[in-house]
Amino acid sequence: MTRPTPGGERRRTTAAAPGATAETTPRATQAKARGKASATAAARSRTARKGAGPAVTVVIPTIGRPSLAATLAAIGPGPEIVVVDDRTGEPEPLAVPARVRVLRSGGRGPAAARNVGWRAATTPWVAFLDDDVVPGPGWVEALARDLADLPATVGGTQARLEVPLPGDRRPTDAERNTAGLAGARWITADMAYRRSALEAAGGFDERFPAAYREDCDLALRVEAAGFSLVRGERLTRHPVRPGGFWSSVRLQRGNADDALMRRVHGPGWRDAIGGAPGRLRRHALTTGAAVLALGLSAAAALTARSGPGRRALGAAAGAA
């Protein structure tokens, strides 16, 4: 239909359908709106590429150490978090934020605790953290970037670990041992695994009772299942704990785990994980020193109790 205009011209208009709204926005305004929408979409896309990634659940086994609070605070909001309480008996509830899911593993060790955690997760990726590490700033976003666009053949990605040593004294043997984690491969202080890789490998071997070698064992079985493992760019700090002379001796409890690795993976297992000489060889001198120290201490005590006469008699007998 046509309608007259003030100048006598007639302009054709189209009647709007019932319930419809006639479009009156000028073309320039429409183009501007479309440009703004495109810019917004592009910004969202950049944000998604930067921070968004595959869904991931963070699993943290714990024995209730106070350091857990700092670990959770460093993660911040974002991913689902499952804390697995591996304390025995009926301990007091853990003091964790309300959004953190807490499960129990009955004091069966970190391997069993991690199995409880990842099997309760439903996400395609599971990131394992120790309860004493401190993820770096922006860890959630960095983890997402590490996981984004990984080929299906990649089964896991490890963080870069920073282990600060004391600067005001000589580090103990135990502290130097912990510092070796900075160059270690596939340790679960901060290690993310594809759930399908965990399923293919059967999870952690619970015959490893302590936090030692169970992570390397899993890595070798994941690789044997056809997956590769890579290093990511996210950064996590792993503190060292002060330890004295006897802490070095206690480290040798891991010798049994080394023996189990040999039985399961053969004599070349250490080369397969890029490992250094084992605790048995590395701490043999420490053990010898410990035994010698005990022997000398006992001998000194016996000499002190024997008195001058017995010491002289002993010296004469030795000379004979």
Closest Cα to residue 161, out of 138, 143, 179?
179
Band of residue 272 on the pLDDT scale cut at 50, 70, 90: low
Mean pLDDT of 81-86: 97
pLDDT of residue 141: 96
Residue 93 belongs to domain spanning: 51-242
Mean predicted lDDT score pLDDT of the chain: 72
CATH of the domain at 148: 3.90.550.10
Q: Are 127 and 59 in contact (CB under 8 A)?
A: yes
Kindly indicate the confidence band of residue 11, based on its pLDDT and cuts at 50, 70 and 90.
very low
Helix ranges (DSSP H) in 99-254: 110-120, 139-147, 173-179, 195-201, 214-224, 245-250
Q: How far apart are CA 127 and CA 58, in angstroms?
A: 5
* pLDDT tens digits along 164-180: 777 777 777 666 666 66
In a domain, 295, yes or no: no
Name the domain count of the chain: 1
Sign of CA dihedral 256, 262, 267, 268: negative
Q: Which residues contact residue 223 at a Cβ distance below 8 angstroms, ignoring those fewer than 6 apart? A: 155, 229
CB-CB contact of 105 with 204 (8 Å)? no
Distance of CA 237 to the CA centre of its chain: 10
Tokens matching residue 20: 């419809």
Q: Is the pLDDT of residue 185 over 80?
A: no
pLDDT mean over 74-102? 94
Contact between residue 158 and residue 231 where contact means Cβ atoms under 8 Å apart: yes
On whether residue 312 sits in a domain, the answer given is no
- The pLDDT confidence band at residue 46, using thresholds 50, 70 and 90, is very low
Residue 57: other Cβ atoms inside 10 A: 22
Position 61 in a domain: yes
In this prediction, what percent of the chain has a pLDDT beyond 90? 40
Residue 210 has what pLDDT?
56
For residue 23, which amino acid is it?
E
Q: pLDDT band at residue 113, thresholds of 50, 70 and 90?
A: very high
Instruction: Kindly state whether residue 74 falls inside one of the protein's structural domains.
Output: yes
Please tell me which residue, 213 or 172, carries the higher pLDDT value: 172
pLDDT tops 70 at residue 315:
no
In a domain, residue 126? The reply is: yes
Contact 61, 34 (CB under 8 A): no
In a domain, 116, yes or no: yes
Would you say residue 201 has pLDDT above 70? yes
Look at 111-125, 168-182, 223-237 and tell me which has the smallest mean pLDDT: 168-182
171: in domain: yes
List, in sequence order, every residue forming a beta bridge with 103; answer none if it has no partner: 84
Note the pLDDT of residue 237.
92
| % the chain with pLDDT above 70 | 52
Contact 214, 264 (CB under 8 A): no
Q: Is 226 helix (H, G, I), strand (E, B) or coil?
A: coil
pLDDT digits (tens, 9 = 90+) for 126-147: 999 999 999 999 999 999 999 9
For residues 283 and 248, the answer to whether their CB atoms sit within 8 Å is: yes
Q: Kindly state whether residue 196 falls inside one of the protein's structural domains.
A: yes
Least confident range of 30-39, 108-117, 144-153, 263-272? 30-39
